[in-house]
Homo-oligomer: A and B are copies of this chain.
Amino acid sequence: MSAPGSPDADPRFGSRLSVEQVEEGSELAPKFDAAGLIPCVTTDFHSGEVLMVAVMNREALARTIETGEAHYFSRSRQQLWHKGATSGLIQRVVEMRIDDDQDCVWLRVEIAGGASCHVGYRSCFYRRVPVGADRTQGTALEFTEHEKAFDPKAVYGDAPNPTRL
């Protein structure tokens, strides 16, 4: 699923020539790691909630930019992942941002159905970790969502669970 040609020759993205250009310039020149991936944070455009953190390869980033729908790279399936292709929970990109050194992407999305997590919750981050002085009240994780937004079995059927121990 990687782009044809060598990474440096990829005409879809700029070359990284100087720190100033990368940090202060107006050309998209993303840095992919040794595995050809860049992390991506996805938030709900309306609530601001972090929905998920995933990775993109060059193809996923290029398709997201072209289509305005979130594409990622699935490490468990080792393939391009058009989010929502199975579940119907397509993510429409309202805004894409890139960070200072251009090694991380932020997507602000609207989701059909309002849910994103394979477990059935709205966000993947449905549990709070008590921190600092709050730990005197207990250290157990607290659920921030009490009902699932959808039934994962009905949506995903027998597809393998992506969680790895």
Give A contacts to B, CB under 8 Å.
16-19, 22-28, 31, 39, 41, 43, 47-50, 52-53, 64-68, 93, 95-101, 104-106, 117-119, 121, 124-133, 135, 139-144, 161-165
Contact = CB atoms under 8 A, between A and B. Distances in A.
6 contacts: A39-B39, A65-B130, A95-B131, A96-B129, A97-B125, A97-B128
Given A100-B126, A133-B68, A141 B25 contact: yes
How many copies of this chain does the complex contain? 2
Contacts of A121: 100
B50 A43 contact: yes
A165 B53 contact: no
Contacts of A67: 132
- Considering residues A121, A125, A129, A139, which has the most beta carbons from chain B within 10 angstroms of its beta carbon? A129
Contacts of A144: 97
Q: Which residue of A19, A50, A66, A68 has the most chain B CB atoms within 10 A of its CB atom?
A: A50
Contacts of A18: 165
A138 B66 CA distance: 13
Given A26-B141, A50-B97, A97-B127, 12 more contacts: A23-B119, A26-B143, A28-B139, A53-B104, A64-B131, A68-B131, A93-B131, A97-B126, A97-B128, A98-B129, A99-B124, A100-B117
Contact of A163 (B23, B47, B106, B142): B23
